[in-house]
Chains A and B, each alone.
Chain A
Amino acid sequence: MESIVNIWNLGMKELRSIWSDKVLLVFVVLAFTLIVYTAGSAGSMELNNTPVAVVDEEQTALSGHIIDSLQQPWFLEPDHISFGQIDTVLDSGSHTFALVIPEGFERDMRTGRVTSLQLNIDATRMTQAFIGSRYIEQMVTMEVAEFLRRDSASAALPINLVVHASFNPNLEGTWFGGVMELITMITMISIILSGAALIREREHGTVEHLMVMPIRPFEIMAAKVWANGLIVMLAAIFSVMVIVQQVLGVPIQGSLLLFFFGALIHLFSTTAIGILIGTVARTMPQFGLLLILTIIPLQLLSGGITPRESMPDLVQNIMLAAPTTHFVSMAQAILYRGAGLEVIWPQMLALAGIGVVFFSAALALFRRHLSV
């Protein structure tokens, strides 16, 4: 009971301290509004505004149709170039694709000769190259089929494939970018806040002060966890309800309450990580370097940027120990697929477990590192 009173009182103090650090607050607000918005509105990794160049040696109605079929928002208006310029545009990276429509193409089509179009692809742009080439192939096939006034080619097929994209029918990137950035910000800001709160107390000598009072290290840490977690939680709620839902207009499938509950458990582990880094680092520059070393893998390898299945097994297994991995998969399940507690409880359990481990590790180091 006494413990809970202490944790409450220390936490209230923590909130007052954060409130008085206006510069930090401005960054928190920016992170959850402007940055989430920018990431969401930039369009993500789906096909969007792909720059295409076309070498039209034919200049007939058919080639015109084909070029017109490459439309916004998937493609930027195709630029006409000459054959000799293909290397230049691909080399400079100004275009990802260069499509060549040879002379006599329309004639060949009319006479029923199978002809191929050359598509030059900048394969260093992995995703766009792969998805885009498939789109272009489809568009060309369709235009030609229509031009020849045949029935659509697929009607004659013995088996039809009826494809549904579940949860995000149009495969819109805005949905993805904004929410993933929000998740990144939840992780990053909570680590920075709790770690910096600890280092600030140490710089001002107030930790020492706390250590001579009848307070346990556990209580000091627990207070930091709840207070900093609360700030991030409030910011996240605002960000989801206003920025993501209203401004970006992303439809949320599942229960927001469940998502927030999950975020709470996630914050428990990330704030614990922040404190852990804060105890290991002796100075601010060290904290900074450790922070970068922690946040970048947490963000890039969580499955939020690239799919987890494709990572090497070793990386996949190591990342099971990271809270972000579970949080990302939980967030995707709830927000996009409308999953309920019966589906995502393993992730929640994992998050809680990871939180306990990090919290205990931080607690063990806390006394030893702070007292010296």
Chain B
Amino acid sequence: MVDQCNADAMETEPVARLESISHYYGSRTALQNVSLDVPAGCMVGLIGPDGVGKSTLMGLVAGARELQQGRLQVLGGDMADSRFRSQAAPRIAFMPQGLGGNLYHTLTIDENIGFFADLFGLRGKNRANQIDRLLSATGLLEFRDRPAGKLSGGMKQKLGLCCALIHNPELLILDEPTTGVDPLARKQFWDLIDSIRAQQPIMSVLVATAYMEEAERFDWLVAMDGAAILDTGSPQELKQKTGTDTLDEAFIALLPDDRQETAGTNPKTAAPTVVSADDIPAIEAHNLTLRFGDFTAVKDVSFTIPKGEIFGFLGSNGCGKTTTMKMLTGLLTPTEGEVSLFGAPLDSRDLSTRQRVGYMSQSFSLYSELTVRQNLVLHAKLFHIAPERIQPRIDELVDEFDLADVMDELAGDLPLGVRQRLSLAVAVVHSPELLILDEPTSGVDPAARNSFWRLLLRLSREDGVTIFISTHFMNEGERCDRISLMHAGEVVACDTPAALIEQAGAENLEGAFMQTLEAAIDPSTSQGDGKVLGSDSASQPRHRRFSWQRLLAYARRETRELLRDPIRMSFAFIGSALLMMILGYGITLDVEDLPFAVLDQDQSPQSRDYITAVSGSRYFIEQPALSNVEELERRMQSGELSLALAIPPGFGKDIKRGQSADIAVWVDGAMPFRGETIQGYIQGLHFSYLKDLALRTYGAVPTLSLVTIESRYRYNQDFRSLDAMVPAVIPILLVFIPAILMALGIVREKELGSITNLYVTPVNRLEFLLGKQLPYIGFSMLSYASLVLLAIFLFDVPVKGGVLTLTLGALLFVTATTGLGQVISAFASTQVAALAATAIVTILPTIQFSGMTEPVSSLEGAGAVIGQFWPATWFLQISRGVFTKGLTFADLQYSFLILAAFIPMLTLMSVFLLRKQGR
């Protein structure tokens, strides 16, 4: 233990001082009027169950969350002051909750740590030394090229620690750094922290943990429950105060009386119900193996569980516990081996077995948007409990699981302990004979865990339910009838807890587990030398307001992530080329091959002559003739005919006599512009027929009108649709994909938690946004290049103007569209919402209001306004101008100017909307 800490000597300035701090998430209270002085130079532990405000408190101290009420001083400055925060950021290190919560999983160890070195402004030799030292200290040096996502839980946490220590912080904040890590790795982690503190005595450490046995090592503890602080003091003091032997018990004793009632002491394990020898086992697994590609998740696992037994599955995260359990439920099909439930081979299609099994998955998997009652009723119904039995059964469960007070609350709003009780209630709603529970107690406080185990024991002992449970708490393992230790997909030992302890010659199960693991583990996962801090550690880089290094660090990281997601890349790349082909060939405004039919009531040579003139044109295709007016109406109605002609009786005679005759024409007006076009065609044909007729009859063309219009079709003499459409399709495609990728790129960080790095490192919003934008701009420009090549070589649409002008326009345009994605991402907190918002917001204005089919000046109402303020409008002008009109930069400077103006506007909006702190 480090002895520099003198928690009682409060005359030294505390590292953090909290004064009546309250924090709320919507209507939920996370912290209620909390005041606390955190002593400097100490290892301070926050203990208490999940959801009592530990993470909130740490987030506030780290500056990751915005202060709502109260005063907070950290390192002698006011954390409400954003200027102080940006100065203090390099002195504080924060490692958020979850395995590798601040890491990037597709990046290697080296790239991860390099990213943080850049964010903290380390350069040159100093940077390389610091990285090497940290990696060798933690024993990660030899894995430096391995992606973070492929590391074990313990290694991820060590890497997280390296990243946090890269800048020699004065205050290190660790939020549950060892949750879900196996005992051996946990021990190594704490040894590492101890050796760091020995070298850097002035460093203060603030740790949260759910493991009470870890808390014994800390100098000073803060026990929390229900958004408030229960008590503070060293572990010894707390134990003395409550008169208990272990911290677990001390914590329960500190709880208010009504919470203690449900807690009580450790339930003792009664002997399992005697199982007759001839009975069929509840579960039999033979040589289960499951491979995902090259990776073997579970290897040759066998066990037999008799009815009525509580069978425990122990092991760290990612060792194959969950995978094995999923195979038992039929969710996964083993690559090799077989499972029998109640003597019959498991058939995932057999619904009757499912009536006998209850399953509770690792993550909370109830409908959080439904109330407790709705969840219970839904599951009762889905398990086909007779309607009249549903209410009595639910009453029973509510009673048994103590849910009466929360019946009408949303499941998502419940504290974790209650949620777990609800999950178990739901899992047993149909009175199953076998319960499969995957880490049901992780993150639950000791009191709630005890009451949970009492429920399990009752189910097992009184109702004879077989229970298969996985956990990483060793003291829970001790309560099982038999346990099986798993490591790296294999069962390393399987026996009763007592026998395992004896075999290993250890004091308790934890010791037994560690010894078994140490024997099984490859010795190459070395501990490292622990020398973290170098002599030059004092050389703190100066804090800069704006740093290219930080901006480029983000850009480089985003590029790497993008490059390592081949699916996203190819979708975006092939996708835009594919869409270009579809749209280029598919959208055509040429109106041709229109089906028409004639109701010829005359049947004279004259009428047939007229029909031939119409059917001879390339615009119309003749369909079988009409026989009456009803048929005409019907065939027009079905859309089969776009045009119908009716030639009246006596038409031929009238013409011969020189009397004027009428031909009635019906045009399908359902699609207005097509109707107009058809009218144009038929009138044109009509006049040319008349001229022709006159020529044949009189040998001369009469002057129908003195004035003629000499139409000069500019830019597109052949009036070819492709030439008009292809330059319009490019802007369309360069809106959607860049905007969506960009928006998701930011919202993804929010969802995965790595946004914390924006909150707690010196990087500022502008650096973050621009850094993340650069790769998407580059990527979109590549996409643009491929689209232009397609246009030129596949569609034969020449670029009449300068390619350079077009490219400059495209660059401005994709900068604007990615900027648009950033603005949208500021509003959305989930990827679904970002997706829906981007799709709805971008598609309509781009297709309808940007001038693709008709000029913006012809629009009316809101559409016209939106059109003016939409970047696609202006790039469309540039694109068409350069492609078809051969315009130069000088001709288009107005469009360029407006397009360029979007960029600072959008960036400023994003900077303004993006939060530098979490809520």
Interface, chain A (partner B; CB < 8 A): 2, 5-6, 9-10, 13, 16-17, 20-21, 23-24, 27, 30-31, 35, 38-39, 41-51, 76, 90-94, 96, 108-109, 112-131, 133-134, 136-137, 140-141, 144-145, 148, 153, 157-169, 171-173, 175-177, 181, 188, 192, 196, 199-200, 204-206, 208-216, 282, 284-293, 295-297, 299-301, 305-307, 309-312, 314-315, 319, 329, 332-333, 336-339, 343-344, 371-372
Complex interface: stretch among B62-70, B271-279, B670-678: B670-678
* Cα(A141)–Cα(B705), bound, Å: 7
Q: In the complex the two chains form, is B863's CB within 8 Å of A38's CB?
A: yes
A116 with B708: in contact, given A38-B844, A158-B655, A196-B832 (CB under 8 Å)? yes
- Chain B, interface size: which category? 35 or more
A160 to B647, CA, bound (A): 11
Q: Which residue of the partner chain, among B352, B683, B853, contacts A161 with CB atoms under 8 Å?
A: B683
Listed by A's residue number, 27 A-B pairs whose Cβ atoms lie within 8 Å are A5-B381, A43-B860, A47-B676, A49-B858, A92-B892, A93-B851, A118-B712, A122-B715, A123-B724, A126-B590, A131-B677, A134-B683, A159-B662, A165-B675, A165-B679, A166-B667, A204-B365, A205-B365, A284-B832, A285-B831, A288-B831, A288-B839, A296-B579, A297-B579, A307-B674, A337-B670, A344-B638
Chain A residues positioned under 8 Å from B583 (CB to CB): 296-297, 300-301
Task: State A121–B717 Cα separation when bound (angstroms).
Answer: 10
Task: For A312, give the chain B residue with the smallest CB separation.
Answer: B585
Q: Does B588 contact A (CB under 8 A)?
A: yes
Counting from the closest, the 8 A-B pairs by CB-CB distance are A42-B863, A168-B669, A284-B831, A165-B669, A20-B369, A45-B673, A205-B365, A126-B589
**Chain A CB within 8 A of B368 CB:** yes
Question: B835's contact among A21, A137, A291, A314, by CB below 8 Å, is which?
Answer: A291
User: Is B711 close to A, CB under 8 A?
Assistant: yes
Chain A residues within an 8 Å CB radius of B362: 205
The answer to whether A123 and B857 touch across the interface, beta carbons within 8 angstroms, is no
Q: Which of A141, A166, A285 contacts B748 (CB 8 A)?
A: A285
Give every chain A residue within 8 A of B586 (Cβ-Cβ). Answer: 297, 300-301, 311-312, 315, 319
Could you tell me which B residues sit within 8 Å of A by CB distance? 292, 326, 329-333, 351-352, 354-355, 357, 359, 361-370, 374, 378-379, 381-384, 410, 567-568, 571-572, 575, 578-579, 582-583, 585-595, 610, 634, 636-639, 642, 655, 658, 660-677, 679-680, 682-684, 686, 689-690, 693, 703-717, 719, 721, 723-724, 727, 736-737, 740-741, 744, 748, 828, 831-833, 835-840, 843-844, 847-849, 851, 853-855, 857-864, 866, 877, 880-881, 884-885, 887, 891-892, 894
Q: Which residues of B contact A38 (CB under 8 A)?
A: 844, 861-863, 866
Instruction: Contacts A129-B713, A285-B748, A314-B585 known; list 5 others, CB within 8 Å.
Output: A125-B854, A153-B705, A166-B668, A300-B583, A337-B668
Q: Is the CB of B709 within 8 A of A117?
A: yes
Distance of A136 Cα from B374 Cα, bound (Å)? 67
Q: Are B567 and A161 closer than 8 Å at their CB atoms?
A: no
How far is the CB of A100 from the nearest CB of chain B, in Å? Answer: 9
**B382, B662, B741, B849: which has the most chain A beta carbons within 10 Å?**
B382
Contacts of A208 in B (CB 8 A): 326, 331, 361, 365
In the bound complex, do residue B707 and residue A115 qualify as a contact, i.e. CB atoms below 8 Å apart?
yes
B265, chain A: closest CB distance, angstroms? 33
B709 lies within 8 A of A136 (CB): yes
B748 to chain A, nearest CB (A): 7
- For the complex, give the distance between the alpha carbons of A31 and B843 in Å: 11
Whether the pair B864, A161 counts as a contact (CB closer than 8 A) is no
Residues of B contacting A200 in the complex (Cβ-Cβ under 8 angstroms)? 832
For residue A297, give the distance in angstroms from its CB to the closest CB of chain B. 5
Query: Which residue in chain B gives the minimum CB-CB distance to A370?
Result: B331
Could you tell me the distance in whole angstroms from the C-beta of B670 to the nearest C-beta in chain A? 4
Contact B365 A209 (CB under 8 A): yes
Tell me whether B575 and A289 are in contact (CB under 8 A). Answer: yes
Q: Given A9-B378, A289-B571, A297-B586, does the pair A46, B672 have CB atoms closer than 8 Å?
A: yes
Contact B661 A163 (CB under 8 A): no
CA distance A288 to B831 in the complex (A): 9
Q: Is the CB of B672 within 8 A of A119?
A: no
CB distance from A6 to the nearest CB of B (A): 6
A309:B593 contact, CB within 8 angstroms: yes
Chain B nearest CB: distance from A305 CB in Å?
7
**Contact, CB under 8 Å: A51 / B855:** yes
Q: In chain B, what residue has the closest Cβ to A173?
A: B672
Q: Knowing A113-B706, A167-B669, A312-B586 touch, does A27 contact B855 (C-beta < 8 A)?
A: no
| Bound complex: CA A307 to CA B671 (Å) | 8
Residues in B with CB closer than 8 Å to A51 are 855, 857-858
On whether A192 and B707 interact (CB within 8 A), knowing A47-B676, A176-B672, the answer reads: no
**Contact across chains for A206 and B366 when beta carbons are under 8 A apart:** yes
Q: Is the CB of A157 within 8 A of B381?
A: no
Contact yes or no, B379 A213, CB < 8 A: yes
> In the assembled complex, which residues on chain B have CB atoms less than 8 Å from the CB atom of A137?
709, 711
**A-side contacts of B847, CB under 8 Å:** 299-300, 305
Given A16-B374, A128-B854, answer yes or no on A161-B663 (Cβ-Cβ < 8 Å).
Answer: yes
Q: Are B704 and A153 in contact (CB under 8 A)?
A: yes
- Are B637 and A339 in touch, CB under 8 angstroms? yes
> CB distance B837 to A27 under 8 Å?
yes
Q: Do B724 and A126 have beta carbons less than 8 Å apart? A: yes
Residue of A whose beta carbon sits closest to that of B333: A371
| Residues of the A chain whose Cβ atoms lie less than 8 Å from the Cβ of B571 | 286, 289-290, 293
Contacts of A35 in B (CB 8 A): 840, 844
For the complex, what is the distance from the CA of A213 to the CA of B748, rounded to whole Å?
Answer: 32
**Residues of B close to A213: CB separation below 8 A:** 354, 379, 382-383
Q: Are B638 and A212 in contact (CB under 8 A)?
A: no
Given A39-B844, A158-B658 in contact, is the A339-B638 Cβ separation under 8 Å?
A: yes
Residues of B contacting A168 with CB < 8 Å? Answer: 669-670, 672, 675
Q: Which of A21, A94, A112, A157 has the most CB of B within 10 A?
A: A157
Q: Which chain A residue has the least Cβ–Cβ distance from B423?
A: A209
Chain A residue with Cβ nearest B644: A166
Q: Which residues on the B side are within 8 Å of A118 (C-beta)?
A: 710, 712
Across-interface contacts of A121 in B (CB, < 8 A): 711-714
Contacts of A177 in B (CB 8 A): 848
The interface residues of chain B lying within 8 Å CB-to-CB of A196 are 832, 835-836
In whole Å, how far is A84's beta carbon from the nearest beta carbon of chain B?
15
Within 8 Å by CB of A109, from B326, B585, B706, B835, lies B706
B567 touches A286 (CB 8 A): yes
Q: Which of B363, B588, B668, B680 contacts A306 (CB 8 A)?
A: B588
Pick from A6, A96, A113: contact of B382, CB under 8 Å: A6
Q: Which residues of A contact B673 (CB under 8 A)?
A: 44-46, 127, 131, 173
User: Which residues of chain B have C-beta atoms less than 8 A from A16's C-beta?
Assistant: 367, 369-370, 374
A296 contacts B378, C-beta separation under 8 Å: no
Report the minimal beta-carbon distance from A235 to chain B, rounded to whole angstroms: 13
Q: A297 vs B354: C-alpha distance in the bound complex, in angstroms?
A: 43
B contact residues around A319 at 8 Å (CB): 586
Question: Are B572 and A126 in contact, CB atoms less than 8 angstroms apart?
Answer: no
The listed residue with most A CB atoms (<10 A of its CB), out of B330, B368, B655, B671, is B671
CA distance A206 to B847 in the complex (A): 38
Least distance between B680 CB and chain A CB atoms (Å): 4
Contact partner of A30 (CB less than 8 A), chosen from B832, B840, B881, is B840
- How long is the Cα–Cα vector from A10 to B384 in the complex, in angstroms? 13
Q: Kindly list chain A residues whose C-beta atoms are within 8 Å of the C-beta of B369.
A: 16-17, 20-21
Contact assessment for B881 and A329 in the assembled complex, using a CB-CB cutoff below 8 Å? no
| CB-based contact A296/B736 at 8 Å | yes
Are B862 and A42 in contact, CB atoms less than 8 angstroms apart?
yes
Contact across chains for A211 and B331 when beta carbons are under 8 A apart: yes
- Contacts A2-B384, A9-B382, A127-B677 hold; do A157 and B690 have CB atoms under 8 A apart? yes
With A45-B673, A48-B860, A145-B705 given, is the CB distance from A166 to B636 under 8 Å?
Answer: yes
Q: How far is the CB of A121 from chain B (nearest CB, A)?
A: 5
Query: Whole-angstrom distance between the alpha carbons of A210 and B881 in the complex?
Result: 56
A91 touches B881 (CB 8 A): yes
CA distance A337 to B670 in the complex (A): 7
B661 touches which of A47, A94, A112, A158 (Cβ 8 Å): A158
